[in-house]
Amino acid sequence: METINAIMTRRSIRAFTGDPISKDTLDVLLSAAVAAPSGGNRQPWTFIVLCNQKRLKALRSLAPGMIDMPAAVVALCLDIPRATIKEKGDIDEMAWLDLGAAMQNILLAAHDLNLGACPVGSFHEQGVSALLNLPPHLKLALLIAIGIPAIKPAAPIKRPFEEVVFFEEYGGNGGSRDA
């Protein structure tokens, strides 16, 4: 699939057939995550993959945003020491963008492989962290539910290009490139 086409046709998929996904396929998705860009190449992430049905059920009971039972879930965690600005001792807010890039790589790779995926930000952080046995240096950021799509949803309405994109300055429509 051509990249632009993949970007434009990706949808959040929230209904799955119940069929499993192979370990090799999951490895491709996670390799895409690992290949994401990050500020200073700090790679402030850890990914935890769940495929065990019993554990997926337990996870879903802690994640109201997970609509259907997926074949697998990837938990994206922020690695706090890697995300922290040493001199200040604070988390660099840019590190969240690094996780966003990893998320998008997983979503696009899933789409390219004809899988369905949906980010899930609505979850019980303490409960899921305990289920995943997260050490204190990892903060759970996002879940991604993945499975064989059971539906092909229509594209949701996106804000108009002209409302969110400006050229040269806020409110600018570009005008002549030579002027």
Ligand X SMILES: Cc1cc2nc3c(=O)[nH]c(=O)nc-3n(C[C@H](O)[C@H](O)[C@H](O)COP(=O)(O)O)c2cc1C
Does position 156 bind ligand X by CB under 6 A? yes
CB of 109 to ligand X, least distance (A): 15
Tokens read off for 38? 């990050």
Q: Which stretch binds ligand X (CB under 6 A): 47-55, 68-76, 77-85, 113-121?
A: 113-121
Q: Is 122 in the site for ligand X (CB under 6 A)?
A: yes
Enter the tokens of residue 177: 């490139």
Q: Which stretch binds ligand X (CB under 6 A): 68-76, 83-91, 117-125, 164-172?
A: 117-125
Tell me if 42 contacts ligand X by CB under 6 A: no
Number of neighbouring beta carbons within 10 Å of residue 164: 8
- Note the helical H segments in 35-124: 53-61, 80-83, 94-112
By CB under 6 A, tell whether 120 contacts ligand X.
yes
CB atoms within 10 A of CB 138: 19
State the minimum distance, in angstroms, from the CB of residue 4 to ligand X: 15
8 A C-beta contact, residue 83 and residue 92: yes
Q: Quick check: 141 binds ligand X (CB under 6 A)?
A: no
CB of 16 to ligand X, least distance (A): 12
Instruction: Write down the least CB distance from residue 172 to ligand X, Å.
Output: 27
Tell me the chain's radius of gyration from C-alpha atoms: 18
Nearest position to ligand X, beta carbon:
65
Least separation, in Å, of the C-beta of 108 and ligand X?
11
Residue 138, CA atoms < 13 Å, CB-side half-sphere: 18
Q: Which of residues 66-85 bind ligand X (CB under 6 A)?
A: 67
Nearer to ligand X, 132 or 143 (CB): 143
Cβ–Cβ < 8 Å for 44, 120: no
Residue 105's alpha-carbon distances to 6, 44, 98, 115, 146, in angstroms, are: 11, 15, 11, 13, 13
Site residues, ligand X (CB under 6 A): 11-12, 14, 65, 67, 118-122, 142, 156
